[in-house]
Every structure is written in C-alpha cells, then in structure tokens.
Amino acid sequence: MSIHHGIVDAIGNTPMIRLQRASELTECTILGKAEFMNPGQSVKDRAALFIIRDAEKRGLLRPGGVIVEGTAGNTGIGLALVGNALGYRTVIVIPETQTQEKKDMLRLCGAELIEVPAVPYANPNNYVKVSGRIAEQLAQSESSGAIWANQFDNVANRDGHVVTTGPEIWTQTEGRVDGFICAVGTGGTLAGVGIALKEHNPKVMIGLADPMGAALYSYYTRGELKAEGSSITEGIGQGRITKNLEGFRPDVAFQIPDEEAIPIIFDLLEHEGLCLGGSSGINVAGAIRLAKHLGPGHTIVTVLCDYGTRYQSKLFNPEFLRSKNLPVPAWLERESTLDK
Ligand code: PMP
C-alpha cells in the first residue's frame, strides 16, 4: 500500500519536467521542478511544514496554538493548510497589492486575514513587521502558544530545501546537474538547494534570477544593495540579505525584466500545458540565460513555483497586461466562432 497519512506527507517529492522549448532553444536540458504540484500549489508548502515542525520541536507550539506570518500569500496558504491538518490556527498579514485569488484562498483555508498597505521593509507598518508585532501580542494571550513563522529570517525555511528539494533534484537527475537557478523571495529555495547541491558537487553552478525592483543582482555583482525598475511578479524581489541568504553566495546573477519573463509564461501554457505564476517565468528565463552562459549540452534545473490560476486577475488579464505595456497572447481574447 502507498498511502499518505494526511496532506503533510504529500508535500514535496514533486515531479521534474523537461521544458521542451527552453531546452531546444539552448541545446541544453532545462528541467522544471513542479512545485505547483504541492498540496497548497506552491513551493512554500515545504517552508511552512519545516517552520511548523521546528517550532513544535522547540516546544513553542502546542495543539490549538496560533501561527502568525507576514506573506505575499503562498507561505500563508501552506501554513493555513498544514495548520488545519495539525490543529493550529493561522493569522496572516498580507500586503493589499497581492492578487485577490491568493487572499480568497487564504480566507477559504480559514486563515484570519489582515490586509495592510504595501510599504517598504524599513517602514514599521511593513507587513512583515506588523506580523511580528501581532505574534508578540498573541504569545502573551494565547494559552496554547503563538509563533511568528518569520520565513525571511527563520532558517528552518532554508533547511526545508537543504533536506528535501536539493536532495530530490540530485536524485531525480542522477547527479547529472550542471546548474541550478531561481529567484529570491526569502532566499530559502536558492540558498537551501544551493547548499545541498554543492555538498554533492561543488562544481554545480548556482545562479540568481533577479526580477526588476529587487536589489540582489546589484549586491552580488557590484556589492551594493540597489533596486531599479519594477515587476508584476509576486512573492519574489528582495531588497536585503535575509538570514536565509546569509553565508551563501550565488556563482552568477542575472537581472530579468518582465518583458523577457512574462512571454515565457504564456508560451509554457500554450505549448506545454504548464499553467504557472509570474515568478516561474523569471526562473525559466534565468535558466535559459544560465544555459547560454554554460553552453550546449548542460543540464539546468529551475523551480516552477506556483500555479497560474493564482494570478488570473493580473497575469492572465488582457486589461491588466495592457496597462503594464506587456504583450497579450492572442488566445487569451479568442472568442469561439463555432455555431452553438
Ligand atoms: N515564487 C513565489 C510565487 C513565491 O511565493 C515565493 C516565496 N515568497 C518564491 C517564488 C520565492 O521562494 P523563496 O521564499 O524560497 O525565496
């Protein structure tokens, strides 16, 4: 018998999918780790589970306890689903600019949702800081305990990728991986997978794919945290060195504009049946850049972070795309000409 005893056991061990067009274009093998196939439809289920298990081990969470987090949505969804399965309440603070689909999902998971204006990290009213304060208050009042998941600076997040995602990639490619690249939200995925793959083979090239509006490309190439431009992608684009990034350095960094990444999302859906969110477009664009950097014949792995329906109102909305001067794929507006 092969039975999962709850959704917690169904997190991870995601398929690895060869991306046909990207591979052909570069004469490399470009592989996408299908993280959208996790129970919460994103890579962040792994971090959510590891953060919760770590808090349990430390004796900080007891049945009926509360998990508080500031999130662009995916970590909150992972925490809420795992929380429901393990008997914890969730309080989620989200910047109001994130898609309605993610907020709706959080509400239907039963999370207590607090929307706050999107302000920079330095501002005390930033969503991460608000969530930290709420967690502190609840820790005083809740008899079963309350924790701040603190995904940016809690390295249990990165550990999840050191222990699961990285080794899965090594096993699935039978060690024949030349490069790994992805964008950074917290840095848990990039640093965690990077650390795990380097343990197996220090020659694996680890790349950062940075969206516009993030400061890490300038940090790793010029030594200064400087952000320029903006991106419609959500969940990625970091302006500081989080605890999850500390002690880790990518071998190479690329800055990827939306004009390069978003058409890849449409192509993957139209030609390969892969329905993905915007950060996956940055990642696949980064994998193509890394493949060109390494030359033909190499194997490069990236992450397909979350499912596209989570962004229907933006990424797949012609009006929104036009307002951002991004191309609108023809099929998105096609009407049937068939007789009823
Ligand atoms: N893509 C999406 C859609 C995300 O929500 C996140 C997490 N915020 C990431 C990528 C980045 O993952 P990490 O936090 O591990 O850097």
Q: Which of 154, 158, 186, 242 to mutate to test the pocket of ligand 1 (most atoms within 8 A of CB)?
A: 186
Cα 78 from Cα 38, distance rounded (Å): 9
Concatenating the DSSP letter of every residue in 11-53 gives SS---EEE-HHHHHHHTSEEEEEEGGGSTTSBTHHHHHHHHHH
CATH number for region 43-148: 3.40.50.1100
Whether pTM > 0.80 for this model: the answer is yes
Give the atom of ligand 1 at the shortest distance from the alpha carbon of 74. 5
Of 50, 30, 57, which is closest to residue 280 (Cα–Cα)?
A: 30
- Residue 35 CA to ligand 1 centre (angstroms): 11
The DSSP result for 194-245, as a single string, is HHHHHHH-TTSEEEEEEETT-SHHHHHHHSS----S--S--S----S--TTT
114, β-bridge pairs: 93
DSSP-derived letter for residue 162 is I
Residue closest via CA to ligand 1's atom 11 equals: 185
At 1 the pLDDT is 85
Query: Quick one: which atom of ligand 1 is closest to the CA of 73?
Result: 5
Q: Tell me whether residue 203 is one of the annotated catalytic residues.
A: no
Q: Whose Cα sits closest to atom 6 in ligand 1?
A: 235
Which helix (H) or strand (E) element contains residue 180? strand 179-182
**Could you tell me the distance, in angstroms and rounded to a whole number, from the CA of residue 182 to the centre of ligand 1?**
9
Please answer whether residues 145 and 139 qualify as being in contact, where contact means their C-beta atoms are separated by less than 8 angstroms. yes
Domains of the chain, residue spans: 7-37+162-324, 43-148
- CA of residue 327 to ligand 1 center, whole Å: 24
SS3 assignment, position 308: helix
What are the phi and psi torsion angles at 13 (to 5°)? 50, 45
Q: What is the pLDDT of residue 331?
A: 94
Low-confidence stretches of the chain (pLDDT beneath 50): none
User: Cα–Cα distance between 241 and 199 in angstroms, integer?
Assistant: 22
3-state secondary structure (DSSP) of residue 315: coil
The yes or no reply on domain 7-37+162-324 and CATH 3.40.50.720 is no
Q: What residues flank ligand 1, with Cβ below 6 Å?
A: 42-44, 72, 74, 183-190, 235-236, 277, 279, 305-306
Q: Do domains 7-37+162-324 and 43-148 have the same CATH topology?
A: yes
State how far the Cα of 181 lies from the Cα of 285, in Å rounded to an integer: 10
Nearest atom, ligand 1, residue 187 CA: 16
